[in-house]
């Protein structure tokens, strides 16, 4: 029994130490690194992050709209981002942003990506509506 408890203590200590060594979020710089290397695990990390973020943004917009009488009031990209935009298009707009604003890449990638997507896929206003 003492051996089992000792093993659990060692594993827990190692796990907690590893968890503390991980960053609290993916930075724009790390996402840029993954997306710039268009091969292997870096490409897969880039595409997985972009897919996950895109899915989350759509889900947040859907929940916001459902909770607010059909109107999306979330600060995240909204229904104006095409649901079927290609992953390479998402990568390309993020990399264009990264090249244009490298000083902002220390920020959280999800926040930067939300801004990039809102700029890249703005909602069109109807001809006779107010902006």
Q: Is residue 6 part of a domain?
A: no
pTM over 0.75: no
Helical spans, DSSP H, in 22-86: 28-36, 40-67
CB 25 within 8 A of CB 109: yes
Residues of the chain with pLDDT under 70: 1-23, 64-65, 68, 70-79, 83, 124-131
CATH assignment of the domain containing 113? 1.10.890.40
d(CA 65, CA 126): 19
pLDDT in tens, 9-35: 333 333 333 334 445 789 999 999 999
**How many CA atoms within 13 Å lie on the side-chain side of 2?**
0
Q: Is residue 16 part of a domain?
A: no
Q: Is residue 35 part of a domain?
A: yes
* pLDDT at 73 (0 to 100): 61
* pLDDT at 7 (0 to 100): 38
Q: Is residue 129 part of a domain?
A: no
Q: Is residue 37 part of a domain?
A: yes
Contacts of residue 83, defined as CB under 8 A and 6 or more positions apart, other chains included, come to 58
Print the domain residue range for 43.
25-120
Domain count, the chain: 1
Pair of tokens at residue 66: 């459902």
């Amino acid at each position: 029994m003492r051996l089992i408890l000792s093993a659990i203590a060692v594993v827990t200590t190692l796990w907690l130490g590893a968890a503390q060594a991980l960053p609290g979020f993916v930075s724009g710089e790390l996402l840029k690194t993954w997306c710039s290397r268009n091969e292997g695990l870096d490409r897969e990390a880039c595409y997985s992050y972009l897919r996950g973020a895109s899915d989350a943004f759509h889900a947040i917009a859907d929940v916001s709209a459902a909770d607010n009488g059909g109107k999306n009031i979330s600060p995240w990209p909204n229904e104006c981002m095409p649901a079927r935009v290609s992953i390479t298009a998402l990568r390309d707009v993020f990399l264009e942003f990264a090249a244009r604003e490298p000083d902002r890449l220390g920020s959280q990638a999800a926040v930067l990506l939300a801004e990039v997507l809102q700029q890249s896929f703005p909602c069109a206003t109807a001809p006779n509506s107010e902006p």
